[in-house]
Structure 1
Amino acid sequence: MGSPIGEADARRSLSIASRLAMALTLILALAVAATIYAAYGYGRRAANEAFDRLLQGAALQIAERIFVIEGEIRVDIPVSAFELLSLAKDERVFYRVATPDGTTLTGYDAFPLPEATAIPEQGLTYETTYGGEEVRALVMLRRLAERAVSGDIYVVVAHTMVSRGQLARSVATQAVAVIAGAGLAILVLVLLAMRYALRPLERVQTAILERDPLDLSPFSMQAPHEVSALVAAINRFMGRLDRRVRAMQDYVADSAHQIRTSITALRAHSELALEEEDPQRLKTLHKRIRSRAIGLNRLTDQLLSHALVTHRADTAPLEPLDLRRVAVDAEREFGQLSGNSKARIRLDLPEEPVMVAGDAFSLREAVKNLLNNAQAHGKGPVGLSVRDAAGRRAVIAVTDRGAGLEVADASAIGQRFSIDPNKPESAGLGLAIVREVAEFHNGRIRVARGEGDFTIGLELPLGAPAARERGQHEGHTP
């Protein structure tokens, strides 16, 4: 039993050149076969036409020598008629002169007459069997209009068909030789042209094989239009891969640093707590340890959430969604995670559906992070609203009574690990996830300040999925 990898390699072994060569060979073979069949048919018709002229000439000579003498029909078959028929070498010759009622005047009595009653002036040819052999015959009428005798006389001459077949095969053989030679020459020329046309693909293959695995820079090469599209697709893929690799490296480095920092701080506080004897200071250290533990737990959860959102940005399809349903589901999940006493959210939803193209999971994660930030850093009550905006846009936003982000921090919305030092339980990934989801949906983060409130949310395009390529967000980082 072969392995799946071996079977895949076997399927890939058939190259484009081989496929084209097989297809062209099949097409040429069919064309040659059809031409040979047509050539044989032409040779057969040419042979019949040539030998039928001999029969016609002999029949005319015999018909001219039919007389009525003293009320009797006489037939004087000329020697020239047999000499004409003898031009078909190795053929047996038959003849018959008969009245319409079947009475034979001379010749082979049993030779079959044609079934047709209407015979043209130049004669009628037909094929039949006589004496166990296939023969081709020609019948011609000799009309008599004498006082004693009147009516039509059948003049039939025939010979076997061996020479006809030989001539037809000879014509077909010569045609086959010419056609086969021309077909072979055409196939060779087509294969050479195909080889020349596929050279750009070979250059692309060589460039890819010779490229260092760590080199993800784009290819730069002159190529035909069809191949340039392939090169452009490879360059786009490599650009995406390069951005993903660099972003993942930064992400892993930052995550490791943040986890290490949180664990180090937690360990330091725990060691101080072990040495502390003052109850009041020990209680303060316990609070700090608890805050650090909450922050580490939240960091772990958001790292997993961020990884899922980043993965779905490259794999999940955008589907028609009602933002009202997203808001309801996000509010319910957030309430289940936070506890009903803390997660009392005011929903403000329109009566009509607000349809967008999106990924429900990613949008719910973004909204839950906005709600978490509002409760952790803002002031209640916290509201969640969905509405239409100008320019065929939709907004899903969270509002609270806090001061919101400072103006100096507005440009850093979505920056990873932007942690408030006064709140060690913060993981610093909530808005990074929100920004990731906004870019994934061709949207943006929207911030607004009112009288005594702060609103932050996602602004998304309405309607069907926009044409986009996965991961093609310039400057996009996880």
Structure 2
Amino acid sequence: MKSIRRQLLLALLAVITLAILAGALAAYRTARDEASALLDYQLRQLALSFRDEARHGALRWKPGSDDAEEFSVQIWAADGTRIYLSHPLQDLPHQVPLGHVTVDTGSGKWRVFGLQQGGQVIQVAQPMQLRDRLALAAALRIVAPFLLLLPVLAVLIWVVIGRGLRPLVDVAQAVGTRTAIALDPLPDRQVPAEVVPLVVALNELLLRLQRALEQQREFVADAAHELRTPLAALTLQVQLAERAADAAARDEAFGELKGGLQRATHSVQQLLTLARLEPGAGESTLQPVDLRQLAAEVIVDHLLLAEARQIDLGAPPQQQSCFVAGDADALRILLANLISNALRFTPRGGRVDVVTGSSEGLPFVEVCDSGEGIPPAERERVFDRFYRRAAAGEAGSGLGLAIVRAIAERHRARVLLADAKLGGLRARVEFPRLAPP
């Protein structure tokens, strides 16, 4: 597991070390330039002193003096003959132009200053290696304290980084105290600006989790309440069937029991469908789906129910193909719920039309019926789970339109309820535009 603290420590130490080395290089170059200027001045002064001594005929500087290892002197006669050499064993440069010159003899570079006096040329030379050693020593004296302080800096950086990362530890501890019962948001006061986005994201996550848990608890409570009533009714119907005095009464009781079982089965199926549509229950791959063909298939599935209720169920002829990006199975459930609701609340002899098409580039499917419709004040509430209209003549699970909206939201579609030209309700689902392949 990677440690941010360790990575920051190594990165900062590396940066500090590079900065020290860069400073050492700059100090070395500065010291070398300053030493060169100073030593050039000394070369000139030494050459001038030799000129004065040669003028008076007394040359007192000997190779054994303190400057013997730093300076070398040679004097050339007017005819080019070397008449004096302070270090015979050294490979000194031959006669060079007057003034300050840097000469490479093959065995090393020399800094030479020459001047002319009475036909003679006096040259004072100094090895460049000496100047480099002086500059390097000066740079090391400057950098050495900083290099010795690196361990101390490492400890200080480790402590400072630990204190800087302390808010992350506090956030982790605060998240660890949250439970499924207590999902309070994390405090964002006195939090460093760098940690605020993390706290905000965690609070949003906690809020979504709290809502999901509340929805789950409400779903379980509502499901238990809704299933308790039909199960109690089934128990009473079984008891009535057991107490039936004759075959006719027993057949009537079993008929009621069969109807109760069908209603309970339908409620359970609707609950399972709604549970599969809950967030996090898994996402299906969206594929192009032809709404016209899908509507035709669902209409065929409901023809027997429509005939039993003497309802004219169909779709207008010559409809164009209308494609949307969706899950075919989920859209089949959506359309089946809309058609089932329309058939349930349409009186005998009524009419239910299923229309597909495109309006302003947006694909849609709508189911229109000739029933009693839904008052505008209740059109939003009918999407709530287990909500049943008081004036509804048909008993249902109260989950049909909730399932329709859940499927529509998964497809980024919207469900619109309005008055139908047939006199009842028009339930329209508008889908986003399908991008061309």
TM-score, normalized by length of structure 1? 0.67
Query: Following the alignment from structure 2 to structure 1, what is the Cα–Cα distance between the partners of residues 238 and 193?
Result: 66
Aligned residue in 1 for 2:298? 334
Aligned residue in 1 for 2:427? 456
Between the two proteins, what is the percent identity of the paired residues?
A: 24
Query: Following the alignment from structure 2 to structure 1, what is the Cα–Cα distance between the partners of residues 211 and 25?
Result: 62
Query: Following the alignment from structure 2 to structure 1, what is the Cα–Cα distance between the partners of residues 220 and 14?
Result: 56
CA contact (8 A) 1:370 1:457 kept: no
Q: Alpha-carbon deviations, 1:396-419, whole Å to 9, x = none?
A: 422123333366753531222346
Query: Following the alignment from structure 2 to structure 1, what is the Cα–Cα distance between the partners of residues 137 and 418?
Result: 91
1:249 is displaced (CA, Å) by 0.6
Query: Following the alignment from structure 1 to structure 2, what is the Cα–Cα distance between the partners of residues 359 and 220?
Result: 41
CA contact (8 A) 2:322 2:358 kept: no
Classify the secondary structure of the residue corresponding to 1:381.
strand
2:99 pairs, out of 122, 129, 145, with 122
1:139 pairs, out of 101, 112, 128, with 112
1:253 is displaced (CA, Å) by 1.8
Aligned residue in 2 for 1:467? none
Query: Following the alignment from structure 1 to structure 2, what is the Cα–Cα distance between the partners of residues 462 and 139?
Result: 87
1:249 pairs, out of 217, 224, 227, with 217
CA contact (8 A) 1:59 1:81 kept: no
Query: Following the alignment from structure 1 to structure 2, what is the Cα–Cα distance between the partners of residues 278 and 422?
Result: 32
Q: Alpha-carbon deviations, 1:26-73, whole Å to 9, x = none?
A: 322221222223323433444444444434444455578889xxxxxx
1:138 is displaced (CA, Å) by 2.6
The AA in structure 1 aligned to 2:366 is: A
Aligned residue in 2 for 1:292? 260
The AA in structure 1 aligned to 2:291 is: A
1:455 is displaced (CA, Å) by 0.6
1:125 is displaced (CA, Å) by 1.7
Aligned pairs for 1:269-280 within 5 A: 269-270=237-238, 272-273=240-241, 276=244, 278-280=246-248
- Cα-Cα RMSD: 4.8
The AA in structure 1 aligned to 2:100 is: G
CA contact (8 A) 1:200 1:227 kept: yes
Query: Following the alignment from structure 1 to structure 2, what is the Cα–Cα distance between the partners of residues 201 and 393?
Result: 48
1:458 is displaced (CA, Å) by 3.3
Aligned residues: 419
Aligned residue in 1 for 2:60? 79
CA contact (8 A) 2:113 2:124 kept: yes
2:189 pairs, out of 197, 222, 232, with 222
Aligned residue in 1 for 2:309? none
Query: Following the alignment from structure 2 to structure 1, what is the Cα–Cα distance between the partners of residues 77 and 319?
Result: 106
Aligned pairs for 1:375-390 within 5 A: 375-378=343-346, 379-388=350-359
The AA in structure 2 aligned to 1:269 is: Q
In structure 1, the gaps of 5 or more residues are 1-9, 68-75, 147-151, 465-478
In the alignment, is residue 111 of structure 1 matched against residue 67 of structure 2? no
Query: Following the alignment from structure 1 to structure 2, what is the Cα–Cα distance between the partners of residues 448 and 99?
Result: 125
CA contact (8 A) 1:92 1:160 kept: no
The AA in structure 2 aligned to 1:381 is: V
1:37 pairs, out of 13, 18, 25, with 25
1:251 is displaced (CA, Å) by 0.4
Q: Alpha-carbon deviations, 1:355-395, whole Å to 9, x = none?
A: 89x88776554334223322343354331334437xx9875
Aligned pairs for 1:147-166 within 5 A: 155=123, 157-159=125-127, 161=129, 163-164=130-131, 166=133
Query: Following the alignment from structure 1 to structure 2, what is the Cα–Cα distance between the partners of residues 160 and 396?
Result: 93
Distance 1:125 1:208, change over 3 A: same
The AA in structure 2 aligned to 1:403 is: E
Query: Following the alignment from structure 1 to structure 2, what is the Cα–Cα distance between the partners of residues 20 and 126?
Result: 49
Aligned residue in 1 for 2:418? 447
2:276 pairs, out of 283, 303, 308, with 308
CA contact (8 A) 1:97 1:154 kept: yes
In structure 2, the gaps of 5 or more residues are 307-312
TM-score, normalized by length of structure 2? 0.72
1:434 pairs, out of 404, 407, 431, with 404
